[in-house]
Amino acid sequence: MKIKSVILALSIVPFLFSCKDDDNGPSTGQGINDSFSTSVQSWKGDFADYPKDADAFYELKYSHEKLPAPLDQASKGIFISGNNHSDDLFMFMKKKVSGLTPNQTYRMKISIELASNASNVPGAGGSPGTSVYVKAGMSIKEPVKVLDSRNYYIMNIDKGRQSQGGADAVVLGNADNGSGKQEYSLIRRSGEFTGKADENGEAWVMVGTDSAFEATTALYYTKVEASFTAVKQ
């Protein structure tokens, strides 16, 4: 009798953990666990909130490069950089996720590791650390820049503006490395976003920075991790 009781008790334990959150379904296996030490892992980068034909003036750059000192220079990261003459430069990366349930709503938990040399010191238009906002989101529509009536590149999704999130992105924090020094150190920014998969079970994940600092921001993304949990409808 005692043996049967122990077996019954053990069989209940996994059930208790699986029912921890009644609002959500199971997590999908189609998550993101990307390190950029050797490759860009199919991520693509771009820029928005600046005039057409001004790429050179804004010093826009997206590449896969060795991490700077004092970090491990045997490892690489996704380097993204721009000079924010518009007081609103958006620098972003995106990747398509597949294998989700068609038309299903998901809660995405995302964590980003990046190297920043920006700290909370005074700067043009704001601080190079606390006035550069790290954002992430998920959308059915591929995030791309489009020209508006002013011949100005804007996003085709709602990522919000600077410190404000939008319908397709949330603010995870800022680029302040917390050291008070202008040398590169690794920081991590995490948060949640609720979005939907399309009829093919696909969605686009986007991470980036929205800047009010009117000078150069140069960052190295080293990791992006995301999990997707179905939300009961």
23-231 is classed in which CATH architecture?
Sandwich (2.60)
pLDDT at 125: 57
The residue among 220, 218, 222, 219 whose CA lies nearest residue 58 is 218
- Domain positions in the chain are 23-231
* Average pLDDT value for residue range 207-233: 95
pLDDT at 30: 73
pLDDT at 27: 42
pLDDT at 123: 59
Kindly report, residue by residue over 68-115, the tens digit of the pLDDT.
Answer: 999 999 999 999 999 999 889 999 999 999 999 999 999 999 999 999
Checking DSSP bridges between strand 76-83 and strand 61-66, what pairing results, if any?
Answer: antiparallel
pLDDT at 7: 37
Q: Would you say 52 and 60 are in contact if contact means Cβ atoms under 8 Å apart?
A: no
pLDDT at 127: 79
The residues, any chain, with a CB within 8 Å of residue 64's CB and separated by 6 or more, are: 36, 39, 40, 76, 77, 78, 79
pLDDT at 10: 34
Q: What is the mean pLDDT of the chain?
A: 87
Kindly report, residue by residue over 130-172, the tens digit of the pLDDT.
Answer: 999 999 999 999 999 999 999 999 999 999 998 899 999 999 9
| Number of residues assigned to the chain | 233
Q: How much is the pTM? A: 0.86
pLDDT at 83: 96
pLDDT at 124: 59
pLDDT band at residue 122, thresholds of 50, 70 and 90? low
Does residue 2 or residue 69 have the better pLDDT? 69
pLDDT at 221: 98
The residue among 39, 105, 85, 83 whose CA lies nearest residue 218 is 83
Tell me how many degrees the CA angle 12-17-22 measures, rounded to the nearest 5: 115
Asked if residue 19 has pLDDT above 70, the reply is: no
Kindly report, residue by residue over 168-201, the tens digit of the pLDDT.
Answer: 999 999 999 998 888 999 999 999 999 999 999 9
C-beta neighbour count of 18 within 10 angstroms: 9
The residue among 201, 94, 79, 98 whose CA lies nearest residue 143 is 94
pLDDT at 39: 97
pLDDT at 173: 96
